[in-house]
């Protein structure tokens, strides 16, 4: 079914957010659904570890490009105020660098030193001050072979197909230091007031290249078998847990498909996910390579990792991310009960109040985001992260 609405039938209205961004909302396609969706399962309480989440809608990590001189900018803080005000149940921050050698770019938020805790506290504090029932987790990352600002490293010298140069293979001691850095970053996240952390093990970043049989052919304790590929995750959780205590959820975002022969795919993902669950993480966000797909317009193009998420048999909750655009489709999935949660990145840049709008039955049942990807292209140029649909590339 084609969910596109002919342009001649489109009507728009404009809302202002706390950051002053203007959101243009398509007020036509879902006009029939003008009553509240309070009874929908996507707006029912959900549980992740000890959290009670007010709904099943999660803001997926979206790097802010808002880190200057060792601190988060005011624009960065406002981004989180808007999100918390907009009704989402759980916010993942943009990825934060756990060690200087693993930074994705010079503009990436840092959590690699205690001196940053004061600034990071502003993010957790603004979320808490804006919405008492919205949780916020810090996403922790090492860029691995995708760093723009640092030496490119990986489990072995095999690069992802889209990268030209070979990464340098990390020594066992270096991997042990990275594990310790993730654990220390989790401690800092707790001290900065976050409700939990998420390990970024997707999209070609370092942890995802350890999990993938395509990039990890190590012969030490960090490679060679499924269990050993997951060892890096197991050790991070084991080392972080005593530092953060038992009530601080540790989540993970993973690739369900590397989109390369010999990598993670729908056939081997369920077994890998089971092993990652045994490593002690408390929820799994399902993403994959080519995560930010452009021009999603038909129903078939939405929620593009659904098949992979449905293949899982886990006890921990699953968050499905990538191309979630229609509240009615989400409700259908939520009724089946798998996945239990839904992640959004681009739609919440366009409409931070999308969860509230959907719940109240205002406007279209589709998100206004048209996946033009101007936001990610601008991010790549070092511009601050926001919806840029009305700007030229």
Report the interface residues with ligand FMN, using CB under 6 A: 60-63, 94-95, 139, 200, 202-203, 253, 287, 291-292, 321-324, 344-347, 375-376, 379, 385
Cβ 319 to ligand FMN, closest distance in Å? Answer: 10
Cβ closer to ligand FMN: 218 or 348? 348
Cβ closer to ligand FMN: 31 or 149? 149
Cβ 219 to ligand FMN, closest distance in Å? Answer: 29
Handedness of CA 345, 211, 283, 265 (dihedral sign): positive
Cβ closer to ligand FMN: 104 or 244? 104
> What tokens appear for 2 in the block?
């084609």
Cβ closer to ligand FMN: 202 or 283? 202
Cβ 214 to ligand FMN, closest distance in Å? Answer: 19
SS3 (DSSP) at 179: helix
Residue with tokens 């805790």: 117
> What tokens appear for 251 in the block?
């989540």
- What phi and psi values does residue 42 have, to the nearest 5 degrees? -65, -20
> What tokens appear for 124 in the block?
């957790």
Cβ 321 to ligand FMN, closest distance in Å? Answer: 5
Burial class (CB in 10 A: 0-12, 13-18, 19+), 337: exposed
The vertex-56 CA angle with 55 and 57, nearest 5°, equals 95
Cβ closer to ligand FMN: 62 or 73? 62
325/302 Cα distance (integer angstroms): 7
Inter-CA distances, 22 with 17, 130, 205, 350, 352, Å:
7, 20, 33, 8, 11
DSSP code string of 254-293: EES--SSTTS--TTTHHHHHHHHHHTT-S-EEEE-SS-S-
Catalytic residues: 205
Cβ 297 to ligand FMN, closest distance in Å? Answer: 13
Q: What is the number of alpha carbons within 13 Å of residue 87 lying toward its C-beta?
A: 16
Cβ 340 to ligand FMN, closest distance in Å? Answer: 17
Cβ closer to ligand FMN: 220 or 300? 300
**Contact (CB, 8 A) for 366 and 326:** yes
Cβ 96 to ligand FMN, closest distance in Å? Answer: 8
Cβ closer to ligand FMN: 71 or 138? 138
> What tokens appear for 282 in the block?
């408390």
Residue 343 CB partners (closer than 8 Å, separation 6+)? 58, 59, 60, 92, 285, 287, 319, 320, 321, 322, 324
Q: For residue 319, what are the β-bridge partners? A: 285, 341
């Amino acid at each position: 079914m084609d969910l596109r609405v002919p342009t001649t039938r489109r009507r728009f209205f404009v809302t202002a957010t706390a950051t002053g961004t203007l959101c243009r909302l398509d007020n036509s396609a879902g006009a029939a659904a003008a009553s509240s969706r309070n009874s929908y399962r996507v707006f029912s309480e959900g549980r992740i570890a000890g959290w009670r989440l007010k709904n099943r809608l999660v803001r997926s990590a979206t790097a802010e490009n808002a880190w200057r001189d060792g601190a988060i900018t005011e624009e960065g803080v406002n981004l989180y105020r808007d999100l918390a005000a907009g009704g989402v149940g759980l916010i993942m921050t943009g990825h934060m660098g756990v060690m200087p050698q693993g930074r994705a770019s010079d503009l990436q938020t840092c959590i690699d030193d205690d001196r940053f805790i004061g600034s990071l506290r502003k993010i957790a504090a603004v979320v808490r001050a804006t919405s008492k029932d919205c949780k916020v987790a810090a996403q922790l990352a090492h860029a691995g072979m995708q760093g723009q600002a640092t030496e490119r490293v990986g489990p072995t010298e095999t690069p992802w197909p889209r990268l030209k140069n070979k990464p340098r293979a990390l020594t066992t001691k270096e991997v042990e230091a990275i594990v310790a850095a993730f654990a220390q970053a989790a401690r800092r996240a707790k001290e900065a007031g976050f409700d939990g952390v998420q390990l970024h093990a997707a999209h070609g970043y370092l942890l995802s290249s350890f999990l993938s049989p395509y990039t990890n052919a190590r012969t030490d304790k960090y490679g060679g078998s499924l269990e050993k590929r997951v060892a890096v995750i197991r050790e991070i959780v084991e080392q972080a847990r005593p530092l953060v205590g038992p009530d601080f959820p540790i989540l993970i975002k993973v690739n369900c498909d590397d989109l390369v022969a010999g990598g993670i795919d729908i056939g081997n993902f369920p077994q890998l996910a089971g092993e990652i669950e045994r490593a002690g993480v408390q929820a799994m966000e399902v993403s994959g390579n080519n995560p930010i797909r452009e021009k999603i317009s038909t129903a078939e193009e939405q929620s593009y990792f659904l098949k992979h998420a449905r293949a899982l048999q886990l006890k921990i909750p699953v968050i499905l991310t990538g191309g979630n655009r229609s509240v009615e489709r989400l409700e259908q999935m939520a009724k089946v009960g798998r996945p239990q949660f839904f992640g959004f990145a681009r739609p919440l840049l366009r409409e931070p109040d999308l969860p509230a709008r959907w719940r109240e039955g205002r406007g279209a049942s589709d998100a206004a985001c048209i996946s033009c990807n101007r936001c990610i292209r601008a991010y790549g140029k070092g511009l601050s992260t926001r919806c840029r649909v009305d700007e030229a590339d």
